[in-house]
Structure 1
């Protein structure tokens, strides 16, 4: 059973990774998506972007204050030191090596399961901290999933049918007004997915996909 905000979310992610690793030895990249995600590009574009990337896409940053460093428990030391504590979005993209390391982890995860409870929100800290300790130079420190936090609150904005427009989709595909780094070069293709879209928005996506997103 998985409950929002609890360590069971990380347990579920590790199980998903384990099944994906075992299912096909040729699986090279692993992306976590939800039922409210939508792709912004066709599959060949997404596949090429991931396979050719020299980085994994996972946020891992040091955030002062109650919602960052304030969630660290001193009881995690010495396995997880305060200086190693990181935060980031749970929407990750990992390569096979890092995914295998996460599944095989018997050092850090037990500490999170024991001490990261209630307002700690393990899904926002376990993978970012794990990456910072094990492979700090491997991460791009960004997510491939665009979300809108501008409306405030503990959850990002949800988009209904009429909010899905051609201009909005083109804006998302163009980096949502920003640029990022990909393999040492600046690009405006920063997001491959977006959320949270309600089920009633599907008809609009089906209408615009061939024209805007290159889907057949």
Structure 2
């Protein structure tokens, strides 16, 4: 018996039904993909960075005086330990903590440091650090992470192995504790060559900031840096140091010099805090003074390099000059940052770099570290 074909109208209805099912299925897939993509974009939104939940140990309420965590980022040893030892001798032991990021495996003891304050204060999980690479900011994050384990640490100061204090401990303690803000040198980086367009959209160009590596943070901001899981990976992947000119590479130098010369330690903290909506909680300046000179070598183009203070050029008049600075001008933003702590006019700088051993010996011999009173912070602003 021959099977009859369905009428033409019925076949059209069936075919139309199948087309409608296929179209609806595709539309649902597209909607699902768009929703997933929007959620992904939200989690990495460039306006406000989300951070993972804090570890419970950081939320313990502490009792007693708040402490300053002094975070030393050093190559190996601390050549100015004798000066810092004198500085800490005049401090209440319950008012500070010391953490050192040194070369992996280096242990501070009586064989390599003149001050007992540094014995065993090195991180056990330190990494090998290279200037101009992401390892520098990773070392900073390690220091902050270790210091955050002590709930009493409420201020965090990053220092190099060539930094010196310009005042005694009580002055510096009162200065930092009096301000509810972090001190982070941060300004718009208008020059081309450091921002990598591939960082967008996670790091938009209008949030790209530059500033001094040497920061002083309140606890909340230190936690933002340690908890960051979005911006640091971008820096690690795309923020590279441009190689130096190498005569043996000939024409290849031109290609190498087109790479973005990022210098992560001058951009990471500033950009992260800007993207986290925290610039309004900052004193956008550093409390560590650096003298810059324009210089050049055979292997690199002209650039600003920090001056090293020696015994000869670190006399009382120079130190007095540094202490008299009360504002910083930022050309890219046409902004003058007047130096204040808790609305009180104060000197801009508490520390200075880069000081040789001879310069540090002169500071100690002339009593620069111990001749100043914290009562100056109580004076009304001029």
In structure 1, the residue matched to 2:164 is 38
Which shifted more, 30-39 or 144-153?
144-153
Q: How far apart are 1:212 and its partner, in Å?
A: 7.1
1:142 aligns with 2:314: no
Q: Is the 8 A contact 1:131 1:139 kept in 2?
A: no
How far apart are 1:59 and its partner, in Å? Answer: 1.3
Structure 1 SS opposite 2:305: coil
Q: Sort the Cα spacing of 1:212 and 1:166 in 2 relative to 1 into closer, same or farther, 3 A.
A: farther
Using the TM superposition, give the Cα deviation of residue 121 of structure 1 relative to its aligned residue in structure 2, in angstroms: 0.7
The structure where strand makes up a greater share of residues is: 2
Aligned match of 2:202 in 79, 91, 101? Answer: 79
Question: Aligned partners of 1:210, 1:34: CA distance in 2, in Å?
Answer: 19
Trace 1:93-172 onto structure 2 (pairs within 5 A): 93-118=216-241, 119-134=261-276, 135-152=278-295, 153-172=303-322
Tell me how many residue pairs correspond in the alignment.
211
Task: Identify which of structures 1 and 2 has the higher relative contact order when contacts are C-alpha pairs closer than 8 Å and 6+ apart.
Answer: 1
Larger radius of gyration between Structure 1 and Structure 2: 2
- The CA RMSD measured in Å over matched residues stands at 2.1
Q: SS state of the match for residue 209, structure 1? A: coil
- Deviation of 1:184 (Å): 6.4
Task: Answer yes or no: is the 8 Å Cα contact 1:166–1:212 preserved in 2.
Answer: no
Q: Of 159, 166, 188, which aligns to 1:62?
A: 188
Residues 90 and 123, structure 1, Cα contact 8 Å, conserved in 2: yes
Moved more, 106-115 or 180-189: 180-189
Consecutive unaligned residues in structure 2, runs of 5 or more: 1-127, 242-260, 296-302, 329-336, 374-382
Q: Following TM superposition, by how much is the alpha carbon of 1:180 offset from its aligned partner in structure 2, in angstroms?
A: 2.4
> Cα–Cα, structure 1 residues 212 and 52, in superposed 2: closer, same or farther, change >3 Å?
closer
